[in-house]
């Protein structure tokens, strides 16, 4: 456990050291909140679907966590290129612990950025419907962060080129986000699209946050929590196996 804690702390400090990158990454979710939340809000209301800004906030929080988490995996490639990974891997500790430390470090930063978006949304008008479910919302935030950080490290373990990593991640991240129900309700979409959304793990994170923050869960909080937990555990196992196969 001391190894995991040490690596978690090192990865956390490394990510937080780049304050400009953290601040810069807030521009994308703020654009979604302001342009979509307030721009499409009147249209959403006239359609009888309620407050679109309230509906959108959980999806934007998940978007920020998703982007930050998956792209933290590129640190593995940079460490390999500059030789830092070799120093870490020759240490007398299991690679599973090393992978967990890196995952938890990246996931913590992603969760922090998601929480920052949550605080900003409160300032500009978002309202929590049930404060008693706020601790469960934090659980969903950390599960989403761990899941997609593990995914990023899994992909990075197979690659040696940072440019290739970014191309693959962009190819994966955008469909994951747009096909998660983050921007649209799931109740009226075509069945084929609902099937695609249902096999997307981010959908359960968005739904879980929406259920805990505004009492509007489509799948149900129990299903959301169960699916996210199982998929997160699965990617941690896959990621640790592929990470253990990295050649130094």
pLDDT of 189 reads: 85
Structure confidence at residue 33 (pLDDT): 80
Q: Which long-range contacts (C-beta less than 8 Å, at least 24 apart) are formed by 94-100?
A: 95/240, 95/243, 95/244, 95/246, 96/240, 96/243, 96/244, 97/3, 97/4, 97/7, 98/3, 98/7, 98/243, 99/153, 99/236, 99/239, 99/240, 99/243, 99/244, 100/4, 100/7, 100/8, 100/236, 100/240
Number of domains forming the structure of the chain: 1
**pLDDT tens, position by position, 174-193:** 899 999 988 888 887 888 99
Question: What's the pLDDT score for residue 139?
Answer: 94
Query: How far is Cα 99 from Cα 82, in angstroms, rounded to an integer?
Result: 18
Q: What pLDDT shows up at residue 48?
A: 57
CB burial of residue 38 (10 Å; 0-12, 13-18, 19+): middle
**Which one, of 150, 204, 215, lies nearest residue 179 by Cα?**
204
List the domain range (segments joined by +) for residue 54. Answer: 2-244
Spacing of C-alpha 244 from chain mean position: 23
- DSSP class of residue 114? H
Kindly give the parts of the chain with pLDDT less than 50: none
Transcribe 56-83 into DSSP letters: HHHHHHHHHHHHHHHHTTHHHHHHHHHT
Torsion on CA atoms 95, 101, 105, 106, rounded to nearest 10: 30
Residues 234, 107: Cα–Cα separation, whole Å: 16
Residues with Cβ < 8 Å from 178, sequence gap 6 or more?
A: none
Provide the 3-class DSSP secondary structure of residue 192: helix
Instruction: Give yes or no for a contact between 28 and 64, defined as CB atoms under 8 angstroms apart.
Output: yes
The pLDDT of residue 29:
79
Q: Are 142 and 128 in contact (CB under 8 A)?
A: no
């Amino acid at each position: 456990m001391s190894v995991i804690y040490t690596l978690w702390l090192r990865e956390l400090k490394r990510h937080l050291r780049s304050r400009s990158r953290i601040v810069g990454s807030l521009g994308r979710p703020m654009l979604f909140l302001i342009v979509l939340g307030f721009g499409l809000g009147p249209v959403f209301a006239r359609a009888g679907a309620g407050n679109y800004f309230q509906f959108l906030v959980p999806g934007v929080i998940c978007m920020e966590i998703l982007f930050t988490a998956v792209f933290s995996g590129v640190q593995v490639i940079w460490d390999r290129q500059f030789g830092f990974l070799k120093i870490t891997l020759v240490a007398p500790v299991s690679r599973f612990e090393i992978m967990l430390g890196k995952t938890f470090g990246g996931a913590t930063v992603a969760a922090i950025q998601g929480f920052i978006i949550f605080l900003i949304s409160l300032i500009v008008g978002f309202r929590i419907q049930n404060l008693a479910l706020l601790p469960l919302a934090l659980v969903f935030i950390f599960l989403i962060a761990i899941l997609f950080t593990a995914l990023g490290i899994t992909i990075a373990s197979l690659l040696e080129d940072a440019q290739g990593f970014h191309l693959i991640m962009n190819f994966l991240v955008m469909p994951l986000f747009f096909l998660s129900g983050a921007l649209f309700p799931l109740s009226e979409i075509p069945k084929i699209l609902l099937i695609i959304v249902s096999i997307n793990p981010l959908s359960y994170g968005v739904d879980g946050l929406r259920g805990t923050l505004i009492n509007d869960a489509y799948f149900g909080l129990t299903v959301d929590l169960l699916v996210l937990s199982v998929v997160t555990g699965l990617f941690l196992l896959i990621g640790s196996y592929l990470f253990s196969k990295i050649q130094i």
